[in-house]
Amino acid sequence: MKNEYVNILWNSPTSVVDSSRSTLQFRKMAESGGEEDLPSPEQVSTKPRVVTIYKTDTGFGFNVRGQVSEGGQLRSINGQLYAPLQHVSAVLEGGAAHKAGIQRGDRILEVNNENVEGATHKRVVDLIKSGGDSLTLKVVSVSRKEAARLDAQGDDNSASYACVDYSEKRALPISVPDYRTVETSAEKFVVYNIYMAGRQLCARRYREFSNLHQTLKREFPEFPFPKMPGKWPFTLSEQQLDARRRGLEQYLEKVCSIRVIAESDVMQEFLADITEKDPNPEWTVNINVHSLVNSGTAEVDLRVLLPDRSTLTVTIRRNNNTDQVYDAVVDKLGLDEELLPYFGLFEIMDTNFERKLVPTEFPHNLYIQNYTTAASTCIALRKWLFDLQRELQLTHLDMANTFFYWQAVDDVGKGRIRPGDHIYELKSLQDRGKKQEYLKLVRKCEGYNEIAFPHCPCDSRKKGHVIVSLTIEHFILTACTEEGEPESQVITFSWEEMTQWEVDDEGMAFCFQYQRGEKKPRWVRIFSPHFVYMFDCFERIVQELGTVTAANGGQEDDSSPMKVDAQKSKKVFETINDPDL
């Protein structure tokens, strides 16, 4: 079931995985050497097995190699005679094939239920491509010794095909605008400064670029990498250094435009802060001695978008977490202490959606991964409050009023607040700068202080998706198509009906239990890449409702549905089919 859930999420048109969980881990993927990833004789099952692979954003995650021609001499594999078989020459760790159980060296007997014994390489590749987003293979594993014997018998006239998806491309604003000379007690060398969207990531020597090139060629053997600027045994002139700089920049631009390569561990580590990754003390000391501030190895600048559409720049350390960055922002902003619990840092997503950062995230990592050149930053300060009564109690603070006003204007413009017939009146008030009147009117509109999530699958719907919305009054599920087009069914839950909620980390799902009247309690699972944020919203509203109850002098007894066991767990629930949806 786990693979099915992952498949659903990756194929969701609006799916953006939480940054804390967002990247598949790409590790060693080599066609030659590395016999340690081949099974030992005692690990090998001599019987063929059927494996189904679900395509992810990195493709199927394996390479196929084998003969170009058709037919050939029968060969013994695990005591059985087979015509020449195509075989798996490399498996991407953490990729779809790896998760499905495919191993390097596996011989392919069938592709999508079609026998491929003695088939040409082209035939096998065509069958793999024809299956769409799922692939069924019948394979037989071989031991290291058996693989070596078969490879030795193999025909040199063979071809290879990568089931890693190199087709997804995007132009990244990566550049190498300049270089500088660094001198230590032992040597003198040149480092090239690497920037992403105008923000410096690191500085690297030429030999580090060369090592990167060789490592990437081993990791992705089927990709036609561009040429690197050539080595030169003598001291380079300024003109030659600048030519090398341009060549390195073009190399990074081309390589990083391929998503699977740009997001690989090798590339991510290359672009990371050298003082965090490199154990070489001489290089680190040199950075400190020369105070190379522009390299970003000690402190960095981070821009934060404020609700009034202005940008605030704060100086932080790369490894500062969300709470530390938030403290730096509110300190420089001079935000009143009374307002601190009611704002937070959010990541601006590509789907017209903001996700609140969890305390353990590193905002600067998100900041440098923001590949949208049109935006100055992907980090925003936004209101974190559902209770309108509490909001009204904060309006005596000028900064609160200003931020509430501009966030409301932004939410109206993006369609999150639905003013209906009041749209022209709101526009008039905005044009005349009537902030108080604008807020008074917009607070009556549908969608104010509401958070709506991108559409996603839910186990209560056999077909289609749901749109999750949360307000201080209700938790709402709106039925929609798989493309996100709203449908007529809308189910509204009061918070008193909620009895338990938690997250399923493995299934990437937010789960809640509700009970209506004397009916049996029901569990619902929502498969969203933002399931942690959904849980946080749930918790926040319950907290605010509890505060309101206490402020009104009310007291809940221990049997109240609001006294819930709200804990994060790994529990997996049986799929339900709620007749309400």
Q: Which of 295, 319, 342 is the last residue of a domain?
A: 295
DSSP, collapsed to helix, strand or coil, labels residue 560 as coil
Count how many domains the chain has: 4
For residues 230 and 347, membership in a common domain is answered with no
For residues 148 and 218, membership in a common domain is answered with no
Q: Does residue 178 lie within any of the structural domains?
A: yes
Query: Sign (positive/negative) of CA torsion 155, 158, 128, 264?
Result: positive
Q: Which of 110, 135, 164 is the last residue of a domain?
A: 164
For residues 202 and 117, membership in a common domain is answered with no
For residues 472 and 527, membership in a common domain is answered with yes
Q: Does residue 24 lie within any of the structural domains?
A: no
User: Which domain covers residue 134, as residue numbers?
Assistant: 31-164
Q: Which residues of the chain have pLDDT under 50?
A: 1-36, 41, 155-156, 275-298, 371-373, 556-581
**The pLDDT of residue 558:** 43
Percent with pLDDT over 70 in the chain? 76
DSSP-derived letter for residue 229 is: P
The CATH number of residue 252's host domain is 3.30.1520.10
Query: Chain-centre distance of CA 195, in angstroms?
Result: 21
Q: Which of 295, 328, 348 is the last residue of a domain?
A: 295
**Closest among 79, 98, 82, 80 to 90, alpha carbons compared:** 98
For residues 287 and 348, membership in a common domain is answered with no
Q: Does residue 570 lie within any of the structural domains?
A: no
Pairing mode, strands 311-317 and 451-452 = unpaired
For residues 534 and 425, membership in a common domain is answered with no
Q: Rounded to the nearest 10 degrees, what angle do helices 423-431 and 398-413 cross at?
A: 130
Q: Does residue 133 lie within any of the structural domains?
A: yes
* CA distances from residue 192 to 130, 265, 400, 509, 572 in whole angstroms, order as listed: 44, 21, 44, 43, 50
For residues 156 and 260, membership in a common domain is answered with no
**The pLDDT of residue 70:** 82
Sheet holding 509-514, edge to edge: 498-504, 509-514, 522-527
**The pLDDT of residue 201:** 83
* CA distances from residue 254 to 230, 261, 372, 374 in whole angstroms, order as listed: 17, 10, 17, 20
For residues 149 and 257, membership in a common domain is answered with no
For residues 267 and 394, membership in a common domain is answered with no
For residues 437 and 476, membership in a common domain is answered with no
The CATH number of residue 92's host domain is 2.30.42.10
Q: Does residue 571 lie within any of the structural domains?
A: no
Q: Does residue 154 lie within any of the structural domains?
A: yes
**Closest among 376, 382, 543, 549 to 451, alpha carbons compared:** 382
For residues 155 and 283, membership in a common domain is answered with no
pLDDT tens-digit readout, 450-489? 999 999 999 988 889 999 999 999 999 999 999 999 999 9
Q: Does residue 8 lie within any of the structural domains?
A: no
For residues 132 and 188, membership in a common domain is answered with no
